[in-house]
Structure 1
């Protein structure tokens, strides 16, 4: 499908004639090798056009697929200012749209705007994960119109590389249908510090499993060995491994800036990345954290030449795109609160000096930044050479050519609604949800006095008391009653605990203690004293489950599953197949005594990695 025919099926605007463009712009000749096309285009670019390539930041869409005006809530300029004034061509789509067609129409309009610029360089749209149940604007989006799957920890709980690759393939089809061509994932960090808030998007605590599943994920998104116009480029993160956070705090925030390696396991955290390189990953994102007590410079990884050049470029020979994590250069405001740049170890440097250090380290793109004018000042002052710009510009342009964006930048907005969230894709997501649910304990309800059989699976048609489940969903499995005393069985859904922090943005990152509040433990015990009770916990972190296991008759873990998927497993409609992707610690004392860089290091865990009961 040509650019013009595709866009005209979606919109009524006029698209420039592609053949006329090709004669005036030789880089549009698809018969030429990509490297030659890159050089032809690069030779025509002004410094300002080159500088625009270096910035990838958040962008919003307008209502029903219109271009967006300036967004005061998020402090974002209009789409036009980004593309026309700042000459930027890489954007991370923020927010959840009501329909796939709306995203596709917006994408086409943004591409038309880019086509109207002097060289008509197409935009590249990226996204954080948006196929699960979680929404953290610093990490992931709700699924919205896309098919819904467990988070990566849940995929890891299935232990099924073929399923993970199939997820990647489905997500690839859904992304490309709306014009998203870069996945700011997978996240192959090892979740070795139980308190760390970013575990949910990892594949767990085991390096071998993380590498195997991360590679399958990449193959699915990148169309196997056929990377090209139908593929989504993946950006593996967070190199060289973001799990070993001091006290489990996250380096989005100054109190979490240090990564520590008391067990001397820095090399272990590289293993999943090695599998990603073998799978052909195209892009890499270094983490915010700064290594402490290692051979590497004690500055954030995005500034770290010993890591990005010495380790990534030279040791591993990686010549793809390196994009920093978001907001390393300039201070900003998030939800109205001041938010300093994550310039850990180089806080004393000016924004200009930070930019120079990032480029010198070996990065190609500034994530979450939109200040090409600052980069132009550095070139004008002689502090950054045009040759240095050209080195990264070649990589960034090469990816646009490889993705086929110069041949076919538009998408079919009508087809998008049929492809994204199709019945087949949703059914496969539902199957994955069921497969990930992990039964941790299942004992007899001795108080019932009639049977020694475990409480799971429960029989359909029983009297159900539920919390955290809509009554109309539960009604398909039994008679919903108002109190535990009336019920044959109770099902309670809980969130793994976390500590409340000072700001809204901090509270998107669940951190701190893993112990349930006394009131929650008491409530579970009270219900369980009245009726056989099943507790399902959303284990975005490995909670201290001992007190819950002691009182509840069955405990189940999930990493993103609908109530219907859960009840299908609890009632035996679907088999219990999930296996823990990490250890469940026995106490906070054991967590605090463990070494953040060492997997499976908490003493006497309550449940081991790989544990999971069948029903």
Structure 2
């Protein structure tokens, strides 16, 4: 290789990956000459025959400071009535779509709400994209999404599947230990995302669930670092494809450097949960999944809100923390992609009618302007959930932040758009979206995964499956609609004592929290109240009871395992899936993705950052039985 080519490589802004490298890092002008379009009437950045880096530099030099600042914000996008552009809401502190696109120059949006009509959603995406192309430079939007293929209804963590194929939560995928299935899920999710214009996934969530009380465990792969690393690798490959390009969905791996070790299990969305603590000196253990994400080519990373306690790092929120973002993530782990903050670090707001202060933990005393500066100085590229580009303009105009620093982040953000092909083909086909999203094949695979991910915890006297019960069998039920059993010709009764079996679908215990937003987080005690235990005990004493518990986080319920005749764990499933498992139409294949602790006291005595350290768990990681007729009288051995 010639010395001149080596010099060019050394000055390149990006590693070699099939794209040009003629623009040196930090330079306003290209290394050799300014890129020109083959079409003299069009600017070079619109010429698809040119190299990506040249197109980025051409566009960057044409942008005003205000247009650059707009790229650095990732806003929420709402659909207006009947698929129209959202007119905004002063009461909800929400700008109109027209204002965000035309006045604030924002082009990165997180789509809010369930998708129930794929064609309408695709048409809405095209409408927003068309509006973006009408701006001075015509920079296309990048539309992102929180997880939406599962059963989540908490707007702080994701959306229900709606029209998409519906799969178990990632905990359910972890219960199956099937790397190939995880990649297939991600490939299917990618096809459905692409069909409606979603080009960035605000996931995977790869935090380790070492603190069982934490309210965000449902989106993780569980407690084991090696299993998480293996599954997230397949997940990212499935969404991004073998080569990142025009058929990819960019992934945002979160929450760096691992949100699992929350003090007392509280969540850092809220003032009482701002601390992440490491009493076991186990900080590096939580980096294992993120190292795997960097190795497989993760495009974007999101730090969590928390501030580290008891570590070598400054106790300020991770996105404000240069030691975390620049020194650790970029310099030590070698991550070169986009760092986007979690939502709402600068501005106080209201969410679902609840007042939510900015999550500026450790730097609450700073002004909004100072918070923005601190985030940029830490090394973040984009502000999540904010629409405050005027702060960036002010910081540059006042000389606090250089425009070259802004350019460094905007380059990455624009480059992502170019590689995704958004400048060349920004629109989608609504009719194709209607055919692709939730098609019979995708739906069947999701339904099969729901059933397979069921985990059989106990099965006394080989009660399950109920294959030989007749239509005269009477059931007492809780947690699902009686018509589902009646459609299978069974009788549903109102009292446990009148039944042959009781079927209970129970949510894992939690302590309800107030507020429109906060109430969606299942936090607090892992035990049922004394009143609820007594109520359930009455049922168990009167009739053989089969329990399905939705474990969105570990539950401390030894009494349920002791008193029921069979206990199943599920991680996102329909009631039809539950009945198929009960009657032997399908069989449970899952293994627990975490330990199930014996009590709150055992959890309180454990260390938030250490996995598998609660005393005498009721069921250990990997526990899961199979039906006796498949694996013999004693069931399959757990792994």
Give your verdict on TM over 0.5.
Answer: yes
* 2:365 alignment partner in structure 1: 348
- Is the partner of 1:58 in helix, strand or coil? strand
CA distance in 2, matches of 1:455, 1:29: 63
- Give the one of 357, 360, 375 matched to 2:374: 357
Q: Is contact 1:456–1:554 with CA below 8 Å preserved after alignment? A: no
**Corresponding residue to 2:399 among 378, 382, 388:** 382
Counterpart check, 1:577 vs 2:582:
no
Aligned to 1:459: 468
Report the Cα distance in structure 2 between the residues aligned to 1:20 and 1:351, rounded to whole angstroms. Answer: 45
1:447 matched to which residue of 2?
none
Give runs of aligned pairs for residues 242-257 of structure 1, distance below 5 A: 242-257=259-274
Match of 1:199 in 2: 217
- Consecutive aligned runs of 4 or more in structure 1 exceeding 6 Å deviation: 19-22
Q: Check the 8 A contact 1:466/1:480 in 2, yes or no.
A: no
How big is each residue's C-alpha offset from its partner over 1:93-117, in whole Å with a ceiling of 9 and x where there is no partner?
1111320111111110000000000
- What residue number does 2:579 align with? 567
Answer yes or no: is 1:292 the counterpart of 2:309: yes
Q: Give the structure 1 partner of residue 634 of structure 2.
A: none
- 1:518 corresponds to which residue? 530
Cα offsets for 1:456-499 (capped at 9, x unmatched) = 44535333222112122223445132132332221101111111
**Structure 1 residues 515 and 73: alpha-carbon distance in aligned structure 2, compared to 1, 3 A threshold:** farther
**Equivalent residue runs for 1:126-525 within 5 Å:** 126-223=144-241, 225-444=242-461, 453-461=462-470, 462-482=473-493, 483-525=495-537
Is contact 2:215-2:267 (8 Å) kept? yes
Q: Where does the alignment leave 5 or more consecutive residues of structure 1 unmatched?
A: 1-18, 445-452
Measure the CA separation in 2 of the matches of 1:555 and 1:577: 14
Query: Does 1:50 pair with 2:68?
Result: yes
Distance 1:21 1:133, change over 3 A: farther
Query: Matches of 2:115 and 2:219 in 1, distance apart?
Result: 22
Matched residues in 1 for 2:309 and 2:466: separation?
Answer: 49
- Conservation of the 8 A alpha-carbon contact between 1:514 and 1:543: yes
| Aligned position for 1:34 | 52
CA deviation digits over 1:566-597, x for unaligned, max 9?
Answer: 11112111121011000000111100000000
SS at the partner of 2:66? helix
Which one of 94, 103, 116 corresponds to residue 85 of structure 1? Answer: 103
> How big is the shift at 1:236?
0.2
The answer to whether the Cα contact below 8 Å between 2:351 and 2:516 also exists between their aligned partners in 1 is no
SS in 2 for 1:24: coil
For the pair 1:59 / 2:71, whether they are aligned, the reply is no
Q: Is the 8 A contact 1:525 1:552 kept in 2?
A: no
In 2, the alpha carbon distance for the partners of 1:442 and 1:560 equals 21
Kindly indicate whether the alpha-carbon contact (under 8 Å) linking 1:460 and 1:477 is maintained by their aligned counterparts in 2: no
Q: How many Å apart are 1:20 and its aligned residue? A: 11
Asked if structure 2 preserves the Cα contact closer than 8 Å seen for 1:477 and 1:567, the reply is: no
Structure 2 Cα separation of the partners of residues 488 and 73 of structure 1? 53
How big is the shift at 1:268?
0.5
In 1, Cα distance between the equivalents of 2:279 and 2:467? Answer: 46
CA contact under 8 A between 1:463 and 1:478: conserved in structure 2? no
Q: Is the 8 Å Cα contact of residues 22 and 29 (structure 1) preserved in structure 2?
A: no
CA 1:163–1:77 in 2, change beyond 3 Å: closer, same or farther? same
**What's the CA shift for 1:416?**
0.6
Q: How far is 1:417 from its partner?
A: 1.1
* Structure 1 residues 145 and 73, CA gap change in structure 2 (3 angstroms): farther
Residue 11 of structure 2: aligned partner = none
User: Which runs of 5 or more residues in structure 2 are unaligned?
Assistant: 1-36, 628-639
CA contact (8 A) 1:441 1:553 kept: yes
Q: Displacement, 1:123?
A: 0.3
3-state DSSP class of the match of 2:136?
Answer: coil
Partners in 2 of 1:458 and 1:294 — Cα distance? 55
Which string of whole-angstrom CA distances, capped at 9 and with x for unpartnered residues, describes residues 411-456 of structure 1?
0011111110111111100011011111111113xxxxxxxx4344
> What is the aligned residue count?
588
Tell me if structure 2 keeps the 8 A contact 1:549–1:555: yes
SS at match of 2:206: coil
With a CA cutoff of 8 Å and minimum separation of 6, indicate the structure with the bigger relative contact order.
1
Q: How far is the alpha carbon of 1:304 from its aligned partner?
A: 0.7
Give me the whole-angstrom Cα distance separating, in 2, the residues matched to 1:496 and 1:478: 30
| Contact residue 329 and residue 343 of structure 1 kept, 8 A | yes
Moved more, 349-358 or 466-475: 466-475
Give the secondary-structure state (helix, strand or coil) at the position aligned to 2:343. coil
**Alignment match, 1:594:** 606
SS in 1 for 2:76: strand
Query: Distance in 2 between the 1:477 and 1:249 partners?
Result: 43
